[in-house]
Amino acid sequence: MLRQLICSDAPEQALRYRGYRMIAGVDEVGRGALYGPVVAAAVILPEACAELAEAGLKDSKQMEREDRERLDLQVRAMALAVCVAEV
């Protein structure tokens, strides 16, 4: 059983090593097609964006609503590209 999620940027660094420069982070939320809408988002940030981590950016499910809304504005301001879709 998985007791702790370990995050790593190794997959991203492997893509950068292979020459990829625009790498999107993606996430989704919802109950699935049988139970209601699903919202998905993709964001491309500059490679150097440490100020977001310093501002408290982490898994949105672990954040208070006010913090998510505040950081949403910061992420959108820094992002090279943002796309949000609801199905």
Read off the pLDDT of residues 33-85 as tens digits, 9 standing for 90 and up. Answer: 667 788 889 999 988 778 888 888 887 778 898 998 889 989 999 999 999 99
Distances (CA, A) of 8 to 17, 39, 85: 15, 24, 26
Q: How confident is the model at residue 32 (pLDDT cuts 50, 70, 90)?
A: low
Please give the backbone phi and psi of residue 66, each rounded to the nearest 5 degrees, phi first. Answer: -60, -40
In 1-10, which positions are buried (b, 16+ CB within 10 angstroms) versus exposed (e)? eeeeeeeeee
Q: Structural domain boundaries of the chain?
A: 24-86
Residue 22 neighbours by CB distance under 10 Å: 9
Rounded Cα distance, 49 and 51, in Å: 5
pTM across the whole model? 0.76
Predicted local distance difference test score (pLDDT) of residue 2: 55
